[in-house]
Amino acid sequence: MAQKKSKDQIAFEALQNAVESITSDSNLTEVLTNLGEQVNRLIGCDAWSISDYISSTNRLVTLAESGPEAWVYQGEGIESFDLSENETTFSVIKEQKMVHYTVEDDWLAEEEKKFIAEYGHSSLMMLPLIYKDEVMGVIEFANYGAPIHFTDFEIRIGQLLANQCAIAISHSRMIAEQQLQLDKVTRLKEQADIANNAKSRFLANMSHEFRTPLNVIIGFSEYLKEVFKDHDVNDEEINESVKSIHLAGQHLMSIVEDILDVSVIESGVVEIRANKFELGALLYELKSTMGILADEAGNKLIVALPTDPIHITADRQKLMQILINLLSNANKFTKNGIIRVSIEPVVLNDADSLKIHVEDTGIGIRAEHMDRLFKPFSQINDAYSGMTKGTGLGLSLSQGYARAMGGNISVVSEYEKGSTFTVEIPAG
């Protein structure tokens, strides 16, 4: 014959089931229904209900309930109570205290008598659901048969499982808030994507519109240069004016090309033309191309050429453009200093990454400016440079190209001491 369980054993099992219910994947209504049934099994009432407290409107919203027809809500939609019309329930919440009484109690106030007359129960126990000193709601137990005088054991069990109900509601609120924030972030991202795409389309369209008249200006300036040359026009003012028109047109065209490239990168569709080439030849070409620019700024350009041939497979043109952009920046912010280009001495194969360092002894970058480096149209003004030239697209384009090739550009810098940019791309 099975041994009869004690009240404490039954209470422990109920509490254990309550905890398992909270940690399950069930929705809040299912969890609270299980909790209500667990408590009611120990207390033995005819009816129970668990409500959520909405502090902003001072209302209770029923989340789960069980009982006779007189107790269970029969209307449509969600059952809610205005606590300004129910002093007893409001006192439970406001004072965070438990209330219990029977129809036989001679101390009952008019509010309790009115409540009993409306629902017809003979006993009631009402407990606040408290989690971290905040009232989450109320749990009520009612009896319609003979009045129940709740014992200390039954009250203690009610309080224990009321705490579990509070945890369940708090957990549900937290998940709902997280989902709300996630939905908000998703909507903001979608709006940002739409705006960004519209901006990219606008930039691309406007850039195309600029190209035609710029080509005419550049072409006509070249034509004038040839005409003046053929007719031996030696007027210095006229020749300088034509030269200025030609240079300005080329400068504007380079800006337009940069904007087009940024639009392509932001669209996520960058064409990579990978081919095998010798790295030393690229670095030698870079030294020849950028040496003049370094001389004009009074800088010494050192390009460490590899002693042995190093062949890699990548987009040669884009890698060259990345290094030109980095060296142009180094020259812009370095005066009468040293600029060094080097590669890490590693044996490369298709599984390795190529690292090229561009190091300068220039003004460096302040720590608070580091997060702006690779943003398009972002420039860092500094008294050292006198003025900031360009569109602020060079580093953004370079980072875009590097990432399109499966790599990245990183930077280490110390203000007034210099910077080192590292280009890392797959060697294969």
Domains and CATH numbers, the chain: 7-181 (3.30.450.40), 183-267 (1.10.287), 275-426 (3.30.565.10)
201: Cα within 13 Å, side-chain hemisphere? 6
Query: Which residue do the tokens 């009240």 mark?
Result: 7
pLDDT score of 384: 44
How many Å apart are CA 201 and CA 183, to the nearest integer? 27
3-state percent helix, strand, coil for the chain, nearest multiple of 5: 50, 20, 30
End-to-end CA distance of the chain: 77
pLDDT score of 383: 43
How many Å apart are CA 115 and CA 208, to the nearest integer? 77
148, burial (CB in 10 Å: exposed 0-12, middle 13-18, buried 19+) = buried
How many angstroms separate the Cα of 134 from the Cα of each of 129, 137, 269? 8, 9, 52
342, burial (CB in 10 Å: exposed 0-12, middle 13-18, buried 19+) = middle
Query: Which residue do the tokens 């972002």 mark?
Result: 378
pLDDT score of 267: 62
How many Å apart are CA 233 and CA 239, to the nearest integer? 8
Burial profile 353-363: b = 16 or more Cβ within 10 angstroms, e = fewer: bbbbbbbbbbb
Query: Can you give the pLDDT of all 428 residues of the chain as single tens digits?
Result: 445 556 566 666 666 666 666 556 567 888 788 777 777 777 778 888 889 999 889 988 898 888 888 788 888 888 888 888 777 888 888 898 888 888 888 888 777 787 787 778 888 889 999 998 899 999 988 888 888 888 888 888 888 878 888 888 888 888 888 888 888 888 988 888 787 777 667 766 666 677 667 777 778 788 887 877 777 777 777 777 887 787 777 767 777 776 667 666 666 667 788 889 999 999 998 888 888 888 888 999 999 988 888 888 998 888 988 998 899 889 988 989 999 999 875 555 555 788 999 999 999 988 888 887 877 666 665 444 444 455 567 788 888 889 888 899 999 999 889 999 999 998 87
pTM: 0.47
